[in-house]
Chains A and B, each alone.
Chain A
Amino acid sequence: MLAVGFAVAEPAPDVVSAWKAASAFRFNEARDAFVRGTGDVVARKFGEGATLLNVQPRTGANIQRALTLFEEVAREAPPRSNLSGLARFYIARVKELYLTPQDLAGASADYRALLEERTGNPLIEQGASRLAAMAAFASEPVSERLKNLASLEPLAELLETSAGRREFHTSMAFALLDNGGDKSRAVDYFLEADRVGFTRKVTAVSAWLVAGRAASEVGRTADARYFYEKMLAKYPRDPRAFTVRTLLQALPTENG
């Protein structure tokens, strides 16, 4: 039987299906869905802004429009809502990574202000690890970088989510090592991150191996042993396992 075509309007997509499309890399489709869709206008504005960051081709006008939308959402969403916090996070993010030239000072100020006012969401709390990464490679002398990194330490107290704490501690640890900072403090950060727990193999192994080495270099043998043994217990068939076993054997015994 032949189908006879009638002009039937497609139902307007809802916000959830638009986000599903975005999570599957269908950015253009998701953006259209947010623009045409039904549901909360402010939520759709945030969706449009977030998808505009990756709609192809990526143009300056798209980025500017995304920034404007995030600013509107930050004003229009209830002040203590996740939506408002996420919009503010993305305002900082656009300044950090999308503008030419990047506005790193503006991004840092925005992340800090946001974290001081609003935590409790794992993505918003990523602002803390972004601050650590920016401070680690700022175009200033290493001594200044280390001072700035130290000034970020109190942020840990503000972080409420496990993911926020884990990524902040991990980034701080690497930032110290990359700047010749206090290795023992870096080990403390790794221990904090590990207490939360990694669920991604690459991240976990990378943290454990670097932490094990830093711990052994500053004489914290028990911590080095802890990290190496954890890696071996979890991934005994990893090609690095033999090397890690030799590192473990080379550690001084408890009695020195």
Chain B
Amino acid sequence: MLVQALRRLLVAIPTILAIIVACFLLMHAAPGGPFTSQRQVPEVIEKRLEQHYGLDLPIAEQIVRYVGGLAHGDLGPSMKYRDKTVLQIIEEGAPTSAILGVGAMVLALLVGGGLGIVAAFRQNRTLDYAVMAMAIIGVCLPALVVGPLLQMLLGVELHWLPSGGLFRDEFALRYLVLPVLTLSLPLIAVVSRLMRASMIEALRSNAIRTARAKGLPEWQVIIRHALPIALLPIVSYAGPALAGVMSGSFVIETVYQLPGIGKQFVLAAQQRDYTLVMGVVLIYSFLIILFNLGSDIMYRVLDPRTRST
């Protein structure tokens, strides 16, 4: 299994190279550049700036230079924040986004998983319908509605929780509650639907019939036999989804005024901060590849059918 995991990581290298090339081509396909959109600068200065950042070179050469820097762990200087490197900007924002993303996913797995199991055991009864209706509403409520509503209700009206900001004076969990909740609502919805469907299927399987026939107590049948099989679809969903939420959410970070990389990324893409965009895309694709691998490993651990003997 270790060999396989290593091989997968090796295959990831050409994938990441392809992503870099695709991103470069996309970014340079659009007219203009980081220095054309802002206030009028004399053409000479613009040329100098482009020269300084290597933007006057042919694209192929720029890509080679970028990859060369990357090999040394250098993501290049930011083109908009003149005194910062891309690495510094990401180091500032990434922890916030990562904490929010992991928090939201953990909450989604616990709450969504729990609701899904309960619904599966009450299939086609009132509780099941209630959970599934909630799940659909959860998918349909956009964060830009839920966010402001929660903020107004719990933050401004009831004063239960701070309505925005993070690490303002000290690190405190209560600053995280609302953003994590908002971020995890759609995840909870998806997880509960997946969990319900796969739990129902697992309970019908022959493995469970055998376990029951052996006379195992019901809770043991569920925890030891049904749950591992039922978790499989969730595992494959959670990997890429975790990469998605960890790489930042523009809406959440804007509504709750949090310093994450989601907002930085959107601003950078709009302002053509090529290196910063590239940096965040790289982190995202790295996380996707890593978590997909993690998903597959978990899959093997959980699924008795793919377990090597």
**Does B associate with A?**
no
